[in-house]
Structure formats: C-alpha cells, structure tokens
Amino acid sequence: MTHNIYFEDIEVGQEVPAFERETDFMNWNRYAAVNDEFVYLHMDDAVAKAAGQGEAFGMGNLRWAYVMNALQSWVGDESEVRELSMQFRAINQKHEVLTTRAVVTDKQVEDGEHRVSLDVNVINQDGVAGAPGKAVVVVPSRGS
Amino acid sequence: MTTAEPETLVTQDMINARGVWGSENTSYPVTESDIRKWAIAVHWPERPPRIHWDADYANGTRWGGIIAPRDFNPFTWPVERPARASAGPVPGQTPKKGENILNGGQADTFSAPIRPGDVVTSRSRLSHWEEREGRHGLTIYAYTETEWHNQSGELVKRRISTGIRY
C-alpha cells in the first residue's frame, strides 16, 4: 500500500498539481453519455443563444469532475476527498482551456482524521476563475 | 409589446415541497463497466486511474477492489423517465421568463465509496430558496438536499445543490 502524500508533509499555501483540459463536444458528449445528460443547452448553439448564453456550453458537473480528478490524483488511491463544494459561475465555452487550481488553506485533526482544507477553482485560458469552491481531503499521518 | 417582469418565480409547487422528502429513487446495480466508462469520460483523452478499471491493481489497495470516482452518478439511464425531451429550453421555442435553468453548483460530503454491485438509494427535498436580480433579470436560487445510501445502509454522500432559474 503506497501513499502519495502524508499530513506532515503538506503546508498551508501549497498548490495541488493542476488538471488541465481543452473542452469541446468531444469531452462534453462523452460526459453526456455516461451521465445521461442530454440537455439542449449543452448540444445546440441556437437553443443556448435563445437562452442568452451565446452558444452551447459545457456541463458544470464536468468541471466538478476535473477538480475531483486533481484532488484525487494528488492524495492518491489510498486517501479520500471528504468534501467538495463549488459554485458554477462562469459558463464553460467551447474550446476553452480549463485548469484546476487548489491551494491548501488549513490542516486539522478532527474525529481521528487528518484533514486538509483547500480553496479550489477552475480557471480558463484568459485567467477567468469561474467555479470557486472549497474542499477537504483526508490523508494518512506518518505517525499512524 | 413587452411582457411585464413577474414579481416572483416562486411557484405553489415549491411552497408545497419545501422541507418535504420526496419518494426514494433506487439505482440499478452498478457495474464495472459503468465505472470504467465514467472514469474514461471524466479523464478524456488521458487514461483514467487504475483504481477505477483494473481489478488486479484495485484488489491490492485499502479498498480491496474497484471503486467509482467520487463524482460518479449511479442514477443514469432509467427506463422510466419524464416525458420532457430536455431540461431547460428546447429548439424552436423562445423560453419564457422562469423557464431558463442553470446548474449553480453543489456542496457534497462523501462517505462510503461506490463499488461494482452496489445499489444506491437517493432521497431529496427542497430546502430553501432566494430570489434576486441577476444578469438575466429576476433569478431564483433554489437549494435542494440529497442523501445517498448503499444497500448496506451506509451513507454514500450528502449534497446541497443549487438550481438557478431565470
């Protein structure tokens, strides 16, 4: 059993390695297929335009998955993402390059768990941060 | 002719539903293929982590087998489904005020992971809402609580989701 990271090695201010994707229908249609999410706003430019959104846009939950991927990749398979919250503010437009950002804000031991708190977001190629949120991951301690 | 902006987007159905748990929804049994396909989709175009598709590898982890990504949804592809073609606006129609919807986000607390063979039960209730003027005029933010449990009664996750309607 190998651990990616230990509680003692994590510092406040530390940044989690990013998960980056250029998104368009190749990503969105695969996500629509597995999540059974066939919504015209994500498939039809004319419908999205009529709704005041310019063109078809990506699913908020796919950005959620990208942040989850970044956190889980960082802590490794033996550790857990305990909490994740995000607000989907900006729309994910076609061909945007999305980059996750997660920064450690706190560490605490609670109910026997070594918990690490983070601020998270998803940023596009223009630096627009469109999905702010918070996360808690539970990681092993070297002493346990 | 312009249509006057409504004073509220709150409906009687919302008032009646507030705080009342809806009927339970039970998933089909989760399969290894469901998990593998989900993992491929959310990692596309790169290969997903082995914990989601390689049983030999996953057996050697603390989980003792394949687990789903925490964002996995086991409630997809029901046979019985609402008659509506799509959530939100549809082609050829100009959406009326209050018919536009967006996913505003969510806050999840995760507990037991989902594994192949799991049957997950969900229940939800409308918690509360707030209305305010936004970029698209009067906008309502409705907050829904959801709980998922597996077939052993273990909590899988709790969610507060934000639905936006304008």
List per-residue pLDDT tens for chain B, 166 residues long.
455 678 899 999 999 999 999 999 999 999 999 999 999 999 999 999 999 999 999 999 999 999 999 999 999 999 988 777 677 778 877 778 888 888 899 999 999 999 999 999 999 999 999 999 988 899 999 999 999 999 999 999 999 999 999 8
Chain A residues in contact with B27 by the CB 8 A cut-off are none
pLDDT given at position B3? 58
Cβ pair A41:B88 closer than 8 A: yes
CATH topology of domain A12-138: Thiol Ester Dehydrase; Chain A (3.10.129)
DSSP-derived letter for residue B15 is H
pLDDT given at position A134? 98
pLDDT in tens, A47-63: 999 888 889 999 999 99
Cβ pair A40:B110 closer than 8 A: no
The model's confidence at residue A1, banded by pLDDT at 50, 70 and 90, is low
Chain A residues in contact with B63 by the CB 8 A cut-off are 77
Over range A36-56, report the average pLDDT: 91
Is the CATH number of domain B1-29+97-166 3.10.129.10? yes
The model's confidence at residue A46, banded by pLDDT at 50, 70 and 90, is very high
Over range A81-104, report the average pLDDT: 96
- Chain A: residue nearest B65 by CA? A77
C-alpha span between A122 and B109 (Å, rounded):
20
Nearest to A104 by CA among A81, A134, A129, A80: A134
| pTM, entire model | 0.91
Q: Does A111 touch chain B (CB under 8 A)?
A: no
The domain segmentation of chain B, as residue ranges, is: 1-29+97-166, 31-73
- The CA distance from B44 to the nearest CA of chain A, in Å, is 6
pLDDT given at position B81? 84
Q: Are the C-beta atoms of B166 and B134 separated by less than 8 Å?
A: yes
Chain B residues in contact with A77 by the CB 8 A cut-off are 49-51, 61, 63
- Chain A: residue nearest B84 by CA? A39
Is B38 in a helix, a strand, or coil?
helix
Nearest to B133 by CA among B94, B97, B87, B93: B97
Q: Are the C-beta atoms of A98 and A20 separated by less than 8 Å?
A: yes
pLDDT given at position B158? 98
Q: Does A144 touch chain B (CB under 8 A)?
A: no
